[in-house]
Amino acid sequence: MDLTTLTYLAVGLSFALYIGIAIWSRASSTGEFYVAGKGVHPVANGMATAADWMSAASFISMAGLIAFLGYGGSVYLMGWTGGYVLLAMLLAPYLRKYGKFTVPEFIGDRYYSRTARLVAVLCLIFISFTYVAGQMRGVGIVFSRFLEVELLTGLVIGMGIVFVYAVLGGMKGITYTQVAQYCVLICAYTVPAVFISMQMTGMPIPQIAFGSQLSDGSGFMLERLNQVVTDLGFIEYTDGGKSMIDMFAITVALMVGTAGLPHVIVRFFTVPRVRDARASAGWALVFIALLYTVAPAVGAMARFNLTDTVQIGAVGDPEGNLVYEERPDWMERWEATGLLAFEDKNGDGRIQYYNDKSADEEFLARTQDWGWQGNELKVDRDIMVLANPEIAQLPNWVIALVAAGGIAAALSTAAGLLLVISSGISHDLLKGTLTPGISEKTELMAGRIAVAVAICIAGYLGYNPPGFVAQVVAFAFGLAASSLFPVILMGIFSKKVNREGAIAGMLTGLLFTMGYIIYYKGVFIEPMAVANTPEYWFLGISPEGIGTVGMLLNFAVAFGVSKVTAEPPDHIQHMVEDIRTPRANNVATGH
């Protein structure tokens, strides 16, 4: 069976499964729509959380980043996994004890202020829409390549699928759909990795193959990869090139951003008991680790295979570069998407792939002697995981499985984010502030309408994203780290932070972080010419890591303002104590 037919079959069957689950688990109340009736088993919730978490950024883009950044890409592994430890220890159990539906609802109650709740909704919407833009771009990439349709057509199809199971099933439908999506995406990620590991090293376990000798006897994989990339003017793969302060800032921003993401936090409201919230976090870490420990091997193998395909002979050998007209079929297929492009700058008909911006002047001088006039191959980082099975010439059914997995990863997170946006608008904005007297039926309808509108906006952002998938997602984490995480943490562990401090802190962190990202990355304006020049960044911290500074500003402003304004009322201070030390028959028990 040809690749196109297999892809349509794999993707079609997975879509039928998701829609069938949504219909079976249709939400009939706001409790089921927002938190799945608080009746999800911890193992199922852990699996759903893992699917919710392992978005297009994890499945599609993270290994692509590792492929090109090498050691520098490890910040995503450390930050995104470490964040779950923070979430499990510092936030999830206490928020579940409080027993409310949404993060803004907690903030509004804890800081005894509708204004604080509205600011939290504002932060939530900015974070979620930034995050969902990356997911919808991932949907478009997968569809545009494997279903051979235009990017816009792929986005519309993906939007339609999400609409069906998010609007019909709410959190209940999304939860059980995500369990199925996790099974699809983990198989789609690990099966090709096993195949390629066997092919390259003879070792079927990717985590071990990563540090094994190559089958051709030319040395260890990472040693050979270091040699190959440095020969082409790139930095050593095991170096990474990022400064220590930027590595630290990005890692912290991703960690605390994880703990502050509304669509992740809300998952811990779906379990029956407080102890189940901790168990869910533990199971989620197990399921996430199955993919994250494979990602470094996938990234390294993808970079090795790409370079080996293009650079056949020794560097500088006129006969050593791939003749463009003899390029493999996978390159031709990806060229059709616009995500891989060749420009013959010296007119020799061969592909020169190297770092023409290398800091090594002697290397650049040699490339001029060879007749090279600049790098001729542009490869979008987001295609590496999807293209890797094709580069390695794996069977068509494996390639089709990867397509289904990529779509599952993007759609699972997109659905969770859209539901958070919906709950923020219907439950926190309408029910909680503007029209508190509306019925449950009206609130449920408003939530579904909000999902539909959010899907349209998400589709637009997916078609016009402000960066590649993992970069956009990193921005969302920075916004979460600088706005919501500090006020949630202070709300649980500090009785003295008041509403004025919380509101000022959230706005300071959000505006500073968003302004920095816009200034350097040109989300709404033309990007600065020095956008990728560390010496122009504040303290050498990149836009991906600036959320750490925003978080510190949030804490400082919140505590400072709280010091010079009235303390929270006594009943609020008692509530904070109750959240940390539950007592019988009160709000802190979560029953």
* pLDDT for residue 161 is more than 90: no
Kind of pairing, strands 377-379 and 340-342?
Answer: antiparallel
* pLDDT for residue 170 is more than 60: no
Q: DSSP code of 381?
A: G
Considering only residues 193 and 537, tell me which one the structure prediction assigns the higher pLDDT. 193
Structural domains in the chain plus CATH codes: 3-302+394-434+465-589 (1.20.1730.10), 319-388 (no CATH)
* pLDDT for residue 446 is more than 80: no
* pLDDT for residue 176 is more than 60: yes
Indicate yes or no: pTM above 0.85. no
How far is residue 535's CA from residue 575's CA, in Å, rounded to a whole number? Answer: 47
What pLDDT digit, counting tens, does each position of 43-53 carry?
Answer: 877 787 777 76
Q: Which of 157-166, 347-356, 442-451, 552-561 has the lowest mean pLDDT?
A: 157-166
Q: What is the 3-state secondary structure (H, E, C) of 350-372?
A: ECCCCCCCCCCHHHHHHHHHCCC
What pLDDT digit, counting tens, does each position of 456-469 carry?
Answer: 877 777 777 655 55
* pLDDT for residue 313 is more than 60: no
Share above pLDDT 70 across residues of the chain, in percent, rounded to a whole number: 80
Is residue 477 a contact partner of residue 509, using CB atoms and an 8 Å limit? no
How far is residue 326's CA from residue 324's CA, in Å, rounded to a whole number? Answer: 5
Highest mean pLDDT among 143-157, 330-344, 513-527: 330-344
Tokens at residue 379, please?
Answer: 């490869």
The reported pLDDT for the residue numbered 57 is 66
Q: CA triplet 534, 540, 543: central angle to 5 degrees?
A: 80
What pLDDT digit, counting tens, does each position of 361-390 carry?
Answer: 888 888 888 888 888 888 887 788 888 888
| Helical segments of 205-355, H only | 206-209, 221-231, 244-260, 262-265, 274-292, 295-310, 329-335
Q: Which residue in 78, 134, 64, 35 sits closest to 461, CA to CA?
A: 134
Q: Which amino acid is at 375?
A: N
- What end-to-end distance do the CA atoms of the chain give, in Å? 54
The reported pLDDT for the residue numbered 461 is 72
Beta strands in 390-476 (DSSP E): none
How far is residue 349's CA from residue 142's CA, in Å, rounded to a whole number? Answer: 30
The reported pLDDT for the residue numbered 509 is 93
How far is residue 23's CA from residue 173's CA, in Å, rounded to a whole number? Answer: 8
What pLDDT digit, counting tens, does each position of 513-554 carry?
Answer: 988 887 776 554 444 455 566 777 888 888 888 999 999 999
Mean pLDDT for the chain overall: 78
Give the mean pLDDT of 147-157: 74
Give the mean pLDDT of 339-350: 86
The reported pLDDT for the residue numbered 532 is 60
Q: Which amino acid is at 26?
A: R
The reported pLDDT for the residue numbered 35 is 47
* pLDDT for residue 354 is more than 80: yes
